[in-house]
Protein backbone atom coordinates (compact mmCIF):
# COMPACT_ATOMS: atom_id res chain seq x y z
CA UNK A 1 0.00 0.00 0.00
CA UNK A 2 0.88 3.65 -0.08
CA UNK A 3 1.29 4.06 3.67
CA UNK A 4 4.34 2.14 4.81
CA UNK A 5 5.08 3.78 8.17
CA UNK A 6 7.26 6.57 9.40
CA UNK A 7 4.44 8.39 11.17
CA UNK A 8 2.60 9.26 7.98
CA UNK A 9 -0.58 10.68 9.49
CA UNK A 10 -0.94 10.21 13.28
CA UNK A 11 -3.56 7.48 12.98
CA UNK A 12 -2.10 6.02 16.19
CA UNK A 13 -4.27 8.38 18.21
CA UNK A 14 -7.33 6.31 17.23
CA UNK A 15 -7.33 3.20 19.42
CA UNK A 16 -10.33 1.47 17.82
CA UNK A 17 -8.11 -0.26 15.26
CA UNK A 18 -5.11 0.13 13.00
CA UNK A 19 -1.88 1.48 14.48
CA UNK A 20 -3.54 2.31 17.79
CA UNK A 21 -4.22 -1.40 18.29
CA UNK A 22 -0.81 -2.76 17.18
CA UNK A 23 0.88 -4.73 19.94
CA UNK A 24 4.22 -3.05 19.26
CA UNK A 25 2.56 0.31 19.93
CA UNK A 26 1.26 -0.78 23.35
CA UNK A 27 1.49 2.12 25.78
CA UNK A 28 2.13 4.79 23.17
CA UNK A 29 -1.43 6.14 23.04
CA UNK A 30 -1.64 6.37 26.83
CA UNK A 31 1.94 7.12 27.92
CA UNK A 32 3.83 8.85 25.11
CA UNK A 33 0.92 10.85 23.73
CA UNK A 34 -0.04 12.04 27.20
CA UNK A 35 3.44 13.55 27.54
CA UNK A 36 2.78 15.59 24.40
CA UNK A 37 -0.69 16.78 25.52
CA UNK A 38 0.41 20.31 26.53
CA UNK A 39 2.18 20.83 23.21
CA UNK A 40 -0.70 19.26 21.29
CA UNK A 41 -3.23 21.51 23.02
CA UNK A 42 -1.28 24.66 22.23
CA UNK A 43 0.26 24.05 18.81
CA UNK A 44 -2.11 21.56 17.15
CA UNK A 45 -5.51 22.35 18.62
CA UNK A 46 -5.32 26.05 19.61
CA UNK A 47 -2.92 27.58 17.08
CA UNK A 48 -3.13 24.98 14.31
CA UNK A 49 0.49 25.55 13.31
CA UNK A 50 1.53 21.88 13.20
CA UNK A 51 -0.23 18.57 12.61
CA UNK A 52 -0.30 15.76 15.16
CA UNK A 53 1.86 13.70 12.80
CA UNK A 54 4.51 16.41 12.39
CA UNK A 55 4.60 17.05 16.16
CA UNK A 56 5.12 13.33 16.83
CA UNK A 57 7.89 13.08 14.22
CA UNK A 58 9.61 16.14 15.69
CA UNK A 59 9.32 14.73 19.23
CA UNK A 60 10.62 11.31 18.14
CA UNK A 61 13.59 12.83 16.33
CA UNK A 62 14.43 15.01 19.33
CA UNK A 63 14.19 11.99 21.66
CA UNK A 64 16.49 9.91 19.44
CA UNK A 65 19.12 12.64 19.54
CA UNK A 66 18.72 13.18 23.30
CA UNK A 67 19.36 9.46 23.88
CA UNK A 68 22.65 9.62 22.01
CA UNK A 69 21.38 8.74 18.57
CA UNK A 70 21.95 10.65 15.36
CA UNK A 71 20.40 14.00 14.56
CA UNK A 72 17.42 13.27 12.31
CA UNK A 73 16.05 16.11 10.19
CA UNK A 74 12.29 16.52 10.59
CA UNK A 75 10.44 17.02 7.34
CA UNK A 76 7.13 18.78 7.86
CA UNK A 77 3.90 18.62 5.86
CA UNK A 78 2.13 15.49 7.13
CA UNK A 79 -1.68 15.59 7.06
CA UNK A 80 -3.45 13.99 10.03
CA UNK A 81 -5.63 10.91 9.59
CA UNK A 82 -9.37 11.30 9.95
CA UNK A 83 -9.84 7.84 11.52
CA UNK A 84 -8.13 4.51 12.26
CA UNK A 85 -9.08 3.42 8.75
CA UNK A 86 -6.23 5.66 7.53
CA UNK A 87 -3.62 3.54 9.36
CA UNK A 88 -0.66 1.84 7.76
CA UNK A 89 -1.37 -1.72 6.61
CA UNK A 90 0.51 -3.74 9.19
CA UNK A 91 3.23 -3.86 11.78
CA UNK A 92 5.03 -7.09 11.04
CA UNK A 93 8.77 -6.64 10.62
CA UNK A 94 8.64 -2.85 10.76
CA UNK A 95 8.49 -1.97 14.43
CA UNK A 96 11.02 -2.64 17.19
CA UNK A 97 10.02 -4.79 20.14
CA UNK A 98 9.48 -2.61 23.20
CA UNK A 99 10.75 -5.27 25.60
CA UNK A 100 14.24 -5.69 24.08
CA UNK A 101 15.87 -2.52 25.43
CA UNK A 102 17.97 0.30 24.05
CA UNK A 103 20.39 -1.94 22.13
CA UNK A 104 17.57 -3.30 20.00
CA UNK A 105 16.31 0.23 19.28
CA UNK A 106 19.80 1.26 18.16
CA UNK A 107 19.96 -1.74 15.83
CA UNK A 108 16.68 -0.68 14.23
CA UNK A 109 17.20 3.09 14.03
CA UNK A 110 20.94 3.79 14.04
**SS3 sequence of 14-74:** CCCCHHHHCHHHCCHHHHHHHHCHHHHHHHHHHCCCCCHHHHHHHHHHHHHHHCCCCCCCC
Look at residue 1 in the predicted model and tell me its pLDDT: 46
What per-residue confidence (pLDDT) applies to 47? 95
pLDDT of 89: 75
- Which residues of the chain carry a pLDDT beneath 70? 1-6, 91-94, 97-99
- Please give the pLDDT value at position 4: 53
Amino acid sequence: GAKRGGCPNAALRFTDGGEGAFGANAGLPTVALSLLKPLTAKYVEDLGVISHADLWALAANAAIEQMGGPSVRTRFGRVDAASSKDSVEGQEGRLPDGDKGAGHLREIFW
